[in-house]
Amino acid sequence: MDGTLGEAGEFGLIAELVKIFEGSVDGDEHVLVGPGDDAAVLRIKHGHVVVSTDLMVEGRHFRRDWASASDVGHRAAAQNLSDINAMGGTARHLTIGLAAPADLPVEWALDFARGFAEECKSVGATVVGGDITRADEIVIAVTVIGQCTQSPVLRSGAEAGDVLALVGRQGWAAGGLAVLGRGFRSPRALVEAYRRPEPPYAAGRQAAEAGATSLIDVSDGLLAEARHLAEASGVAIDVRRGAFEIPEPLTAVGAALGADPMQFILGGGDDHALLATFPDVASVPTGWQVVGEVLEGSGVTVDGLAYDGPTGWTHF
């Protein structure tokens, strides 16, 4: 479909988007009514309903010259699917709101939608509704609805004596973002990690079943998320630098940019790794690595000391 959103008009664009997302709900027996009516109707029979919502703004959370429309779609879906992962739940259905300028090429919107639907499909989730409207800049609003058949794992359950563990790539996306910010396109592995994060989607439920006492996804930065866990649980958390193996591409980027690669690991978000606490080392599931410990007190330290590097992302 050629042209801009302004030329295609609201209803032309909606018709195309509904085609993409109808493909997404085909065969999903849990969707009684998909996109196209006033609301979608879902069948969620067992367990609890888990819901989360996130915004992405062009120029702030993504740039069209740094990632393809499809990449942005993958990333928008991934960061929301990850929130359900961080409760120990299973993502099931998503809605998507797209505010965009009238001069946005329709193909950008459709490629975005295709990437979004693909990422959802990779975890068996479907897109059941949405809204589009005109705005000066692109704002993407996603809501994800999931299901939790066991008790959800909150941020607030960590206790002194627990161990802190991580699963998934950490620091890769931040490294990719750093090189893009300097105008480079390599190391490719990092740039791709930024463009299309690969959250450890199965690990949230795995952690819940292994008895995790608290759980969060690393979207804003590892130390920032550790602080969320510490504050919600009323404990202190110490992170051990030595627990992290610095992957080769991050070493290379650190050398090229004159930065400590450990900064990407401790301060980086966007990979959507999971950070959890477990009662002891024995209960930490396969694939997770112990990266610190939970102590009495408050605040987050690194190797027992205050950390003065960047700890994460702030939105204002």
Report the nearest approach of a second copy to the CB of residue 27 (Å): 18
Cβ–Cβ under 8 Å, residues 75 and 126: no
- What's the longest Cα–Cα distance across the chain? 61
Residue 271 annotated as binding site: no
How far is it, in rounded angstroms, from Cα 73 to Cα 181? 20
Q: With binding defined as CB under 8 A, does residue 135 bind a second copy?
A: yes
Pairing of strands 299-302, 126-134: unpaired
Closest CB to a second copy among 113 and 253? 113
Query: Phi and psi (nearest 5°) for 100?
Result: -155, 155
Q: Which amino acid is at 64?
A: R
Binding mask 50-89 for a second copy (x = CB under 8 A): xxxxxxxx--xx---------------------xx-xx-x
Unique residue bearing structure tokens 């490629």: 111
Closest CB to a second copy among 84 and 179? 84
Cβ–Cβ under 8 Å, residues 280 and 193: no
Q: Out of 13, 72, 173, 250, which residue is the one contacting a second copy (CB under 8 A)?
A: 13
CA 38 to chain centroid, in Å, comes to: 28
- For 115-140, give one letter per residue: b (16+ CB within 10 A) or e: bbbbbbeebebbbbbbebeeeeebbb
Report the nearest approach of a second copy to the CB of residue 96 (Å): 7
Q: With binding defined as CB under 8 A, does residue 185 bind a second copy?
A: no
Binding mask 239-278 for a second copy (x = CB under 8 A): ----------------------------------------
CA-based R_g, the chain, Å: 20
Unique residue bearing structure tokens 């700890």: 311
Q: Out of 203, 216, 266, 300, which residue is the one contacting a second copy (CB under 8 A)?
A: 216
How far is it, in rounded angstroms, from Cα 278 to Cα 301? 18
Closest CB to a second copy among 14 and 243? 14
Q: Out of 76, 113, 116, 130, which residue is the one contacting a second copy (CB under 8 A)?
A: 130
Q: Which amino acid is at 297?
A: G
State the residues that interact with a second copy by CB under 8 A.
Answer: 5-6, 8-11, 13, 32-33, 36-44, 48-57, 60-61, 83-84, 86-87, 89, 93, 95-99, 102, 128-137, 139, 141, 143-146, 148, 152, 154-156, 215-217, 232, 314-316
Binding-site residues sit at: 38, 52-54, 61, 83, 130-131, 155, 217, 219-220, 270, 313
Binding-site residues for substrate sit at: 61, 270, 313
